[in-house]
Amino acid sequence: MKILNITKDCILADRVFLADSFLARIKGLLGFKSLDVGQAMIIRPCNSVHTFFMHFPIDVLFVDKNNRVAKIIKRMKPFRVSLMCTRSKSVIELPAGIINSSNTSTGDMLEIQ
């Protein structure tokens, strides 16, 4: 699975983990030592995330029902909780720095292949 930023014409990730069951969503990235460039996790449904017990920062994209970026959190540190994004239907967790390097911004259109 790939995540493309159609607006910026770039690939955000080409090795994507999907967390769409109750247990997978609860586990999320727990147990990961890091996320490598090219990796990402899609959590759906989801409108808020936490980084409790994680050991590395992540970039977070809140995505609406039309695959548009509704909200961004850059370099979310471990042991933090995001505010709820009511428009979000899913969340994409990426390695810290990907939002800046791809110039991804609110309103960008994403495609998941």
- C-beta separation of 46 from 93 below 8 A: no
Can you give the pLDDT at residue 32? Answer: 82
For the cut 90, the answer to whether the pLDDT of residue 110 exceeds it is: yes
- Mean pLDDT within 93-101: 97
pLDDT band of residue 27 (cuts 50, 70, 90) is confident
Can you give the pLDDT at residue 81? Answer: 95
What are the CA-CA distances from residue 43 to residues 16, 64, 70 (Å)?
A: 11, 12, 15
- C-beta separation of 45 from 58 below 8 A: no
**pLDDT 10s digits, 61-90:** 999 999 999 999 999 999 999 999 999 999
Q: Give all domains of the chain, ordered by start, each with its CATH number.
A: 3-112 (2.60.120.1140)
pLDDT band of residue 95 (cuts 50, 70, 90) is very high
Can you give the pLDDT at residue 8? Answer: 97
For the cut 80, the answer to whether the pLDDT of residue 106 exceeds it is: yes
| Residue 7, burial from CB neighbour count under 10 angstroms (0-12, 13-18, 19+) | middle
- What is the rounded distance in angstroms from the CA atom of residue 5 to the CA atom of residue 30? 26
Three-state DSSP class for residue 41 = strand
- What is the rounded distance in angstroms from the CA atom of residue 85 to the CA atom of residue 44? 13
Q: What is the pTM of this model?
A: 0.94
For the cut 90, the answer to whether the pLDDT of residue 24 exceeds it is: no
Question: Which token pair is 69?
Answer: 């970026």
- C-beta separation of 41 from 93 below 8 A: yes
For the cut 80, the answer to whether the pLDDT of residue 39 exceeds it is: yes
For the cut 80, the answer to whether the pLDDT of residue 31 exceeds it is: no
